[in-house]
Amino acid sequence: MDKLLSMFTLQQTLNDSTSGQGWENGMTNKGKKINWQRCITMESAEMIDSFGWKHWKSIDQQTDYDNLQIEIVDVWHFVMSLVLMFNARSGAERVEELAQRIAKTPEFQGLSVEETLPFGSDEILLMRIENVMRLSLIPLSAEMVGAMIEEFFELAYVGGLNVTDLYRLYVGKNILNQFRQDHGYKEGTYRKIWEGMEDNAVMKRAWEDEPNMTPKELYQTLTALYPLA
């Protein structure tokens, strides 16, 4: 439960930082409307491009499982944001209670293992992704939010992510998002390709090379690797 609470806390902090206090009301501090459900829909669509699904183009494309896991974590940012928004509006429970309740679900418990989880078949993975997309397109309700959480954890399971893997990649992406904001992401000056490699992949490789890094050390590593010229 500690990892789950930590992720919700980090997401709240990230949203407060990027969108301003009160983003739960559906607007950023710059007056831009927020639509977390659309974020989930569009990010899930990007996830599908990890598969060689196009029968008319790149027919020999192999599934990019590394990118798939990164995209799963991207969707997790938006799922948590949706949950935090709905919880803030309903005032039903504190975030600690929210994390504790979610941690007891069978779907989350399925991720709470030490061994590495295998990938499901591409057919099952695509089905789970499309289930998440389908839920993102229906009206917001307690039932929808609950189903979204369950479906996301089912997706993470067949995507080979146990709780530790999900946590590590989430923290890595959280730090990368902070790094992006600090290096001109909103202004359009940030460079997403580093020496021929996308920054997501750079971050993932950095974690794999030094799995015991702290978030602060990861930020420092990204700073050292970021191309300045």
Q: Across residues 157-176, what is the average pLDDT?
A: 92
pLDDT for 76-92, tens place per residue? 999 999 999 999 998 87
Task: Report the predicted TM-score, pTM, of the whole model to 2 decimal places.
Answer: 0.87
Q: Which two tokens stand for residue 161?
A: 């992510």
Return the percentage of the chain with pLDDT > 90, whole number: 68
Residue 63 above 60 pLDDT? yes
CA-to-CA distance for 212 and 108, rounded, in angstroms? 24
The 3-state DSSP class for residue 33 equals strand
Return the percentage of the chain with pLDDT > 70, whole number: 99
Q: Which of 92, 91, 78 is nearest to 38 (CA)?
A: 78
User: What does pLDDT average to over the chain?
Assistant: 92
Residue 208 above 90 pLDDT? no
**Structure confidence at residue 14 as a pLDDT band (50, 70, 90):** confident
Q: Which of 183, 164, 194, 201 is nearest to 71 (CA)?
A: 201
Helices (H), the chain: 2-19, 36-48, 65-90, 95-103, 106-111, 122-136, 142-158, 163-182, 199-209, 215-225
Q: Which domains does the chain have, with CATH numbers?
A: 2-168 (1.10.4010.10)
Q: Across residues 92-117, what is the average pLDDT?
A: 92
**Structure confidence at residue 138 as a pLDDT band (50, 70, 90):** very high
**Structure confidence at residue 43 as a pLDDT band (50, 70, 90):** very high
Q: Which of 4, 5, 66 is nearest to 208 (CA)?
A: 66
* pLDDT for the residue numbered 229: 54
**Structure confidence at residue 1 as a pLDDT band (50, 70, 90):** low
* pLDDT for the residue numbered 227: 86
CA-to-CA distance for 200 and 53, rounded, in angstroms? 22
Who wins on pLDDT, 175 or 155?
Answer: 155
Most confident of the following: 3-17, 55-69, 129-143: 129-143
Task: Classify burial at 62, counting beta carbons within 10 Å of its beta carbon; exposed 0-12, middle 13-18, buried 19 or more.
Answer: exposed
**Structure confidence at residue 129 as a pLDDT band (50, 70, 90):** very high
CA-to-CA distance for 122 and 120, rounded, in angstroms? 6
CB distance 80 to 24 below 8 Å: no
**Structure confidence at residue 205 as a pLDDT band (50, 70, 90):** confident
Residue 102 above 60 pLDDT? yes
